[in-house]
Amino acid sequence: MSIVINNVSKSFGSFQALQDIDLEIQTGELVALLGPSGSGKTSLLRIIAGLEYADEGSIYFGSDEITDISTKDRKVGFVFQHYALFRHMNVFDNIAYGLKVRPKSTRPGKKVIEKKVNELLQLVKLEELAKRYPAQLSGGQKQRVALARALAVEPKVLLLDEPFGALDAKVRKDLRRWLRNLHDEFNITSIFVTHDQEEALDVADRIVVMNDGRVEQIGSPEEVYEHPKNPFVYDFLGNVNLFHGRLENGKLSQGKAQFAVPGVQHEQDQKAVGYVRPHDITITKEESGQDSIKATITHIHVVGPIVHIELKRIDNDEFLEAEITKELYRTLGLQTNNNVYVKPSQLKVFFPDDYSI
């Protein structure tokens, strides 16, 4: 079931939650709506589900316009951030609910429902917990029940609202993987909302980066990470170091230093800002070329296998952040207050006149 969203806008009172959203989702895709709080991603998801109605615009499931159709007729599966399990029903009844409330004409028989529920319990590996009540389950178990419940009605579209937001890190990672595998097996068109860029990059086929009620960029995880369209997308998808300077003769220059800028076309010299990922900053003990910058190490954080190094540039007192492997860190024998040379690579250049950050 493909989804087409045309020109959707929505405001709550004086707050504009969504502005002119255009989006197309192919059948069987797993799409992430990624953005900070207030970006409108949850509002968009709820509008697709029918839990809210758009002020303007239209939504199509396949070739049918469903803009004004009520939730119960849309055949969507919705998974809530805080599970929304029916607290007075046990796990079995929760999963069976969608089938039990069908009108008599389309309601499957008791045996059929039982079989289906048991299949789903096996799928989510909760067979032993069928008689338990939601209050007796852990967060991860609750979310799996919620997923089983949504899948029981065989929805054409699966919508997940920050499904792993309320879970701890290890469970989140496991369920993430599990969701991806589930999707690969059943191929239901799925949209999930998240503010965790790692999650989006890990799970999604395509990512829709949203900010302030608008779509900033749509693309595969690699596209939005390696080729961000604007500073917001770059900054949101990972940490960033800024190099303010001028783009002259095909290079970004900051006083004496000059950096190669792969793939940038420009005609005139103009003010530009170079964006560099911490892991694209190399640290050396000796100067090596016009793109080496002298800096002092201010902080060293060892976080598992990665070492985060905060540095202060000697020429303009700006701060930089670098990420190196523990191995390299040990080899170089770095310590706070050492003077080293840093070299940025993979610069992405944006022109401040085009964007207000």
Partner 1 sequence: MAGNVPLQPNTAPASQKKTAASEPVWVRTILITISLVFLGLFLVLPLITIFIQAFDQGVKVYLAAITDPEAMSAIKLTLLVIVIAVPLNAIFGVAAAWAVSKFQFRGKNLLITIIDLPFAVSPVIAGLVFVLLFSTHGLFGEWLYAHDIKIIFAVPGIVLATIFVTLPFVARELIPLMQAQGTSEEEASLTLGANGWKTFWYVTIPNIKWGLLYGIILCNARAIGEFGAVSVVSGHIRGLTNTMPLHIEILYGEYQFAAAFAVATLMSILAIITLIIKSVLEWKTKKQFSN
- Applying CB under 8 A, the residues found at the interface with partner 1 are 49-51, 70-73, 75-78, 80, 82, 84-88, 97-98, 101-102, 133, 135-136, 149-150, 152-153
Nearer to partner 1 by Cβ, of 50 and 344: the residue is 50
Displacement of CA 187 from its chain's centroid (Å): 20
What values do phi and psi take at 310, rounded to 5?
-95, 135
Amino acid at 264: V
Tell whether the torsion through CA atoms of 44, 47, 52 and 58 is positive or negative: positive
What's the closest the beta carbon of residue 67 comes to partner 1, in angstroms? 17
Closest distance of CB 210 from partner 1, Å: 22
- Would residue 141 be called left, alpha or beta, if left means φ above 0 and alpha means ψ between -120 and 50 degrees? alpha
Q: How far is the CB of 134 from partner 1 (least distance, A)?
A: 9
Cβ proximity to partner 1, 102 vs 330, nearer residue = 102
Residue reference for tokens 């800096």? 295
Rounded Cα–Cα distance for residues 304 and 301 (Å): 10
Would you say 51 or 332 has its CB closer to partner 1? Answer: 51
- Residue 327 CB, shortest distance to partner 1, in Å, is 48
Contacting residues for 332 by C-beta, under 8 A, at least 6 apart: 283, 285, 340
Structure tokens at 63: 């070739």
For the chain, the distance separating the N- and C-terminal CA atoms, rounded to the nearest angstrom, is: 38
**Least distance in angstroms from the C-beta of 51 to partner 1:** 6
**Cβ closest to partner 1, residue 25 vs residue 137:** 137
Smallest gap, in angstroms, from Cβ of residue 146 to partner 1?
Answer: 8
Closer residue to partner 1 in complex, CB, 144/149: 149
Taking the C-alpha atoms of residue 119 and residue 127, their distance in angstroms, rounded to an integer, is 9
Q: Of 88 and 330, which has the nearer Cβ to partner 1?
A: 88
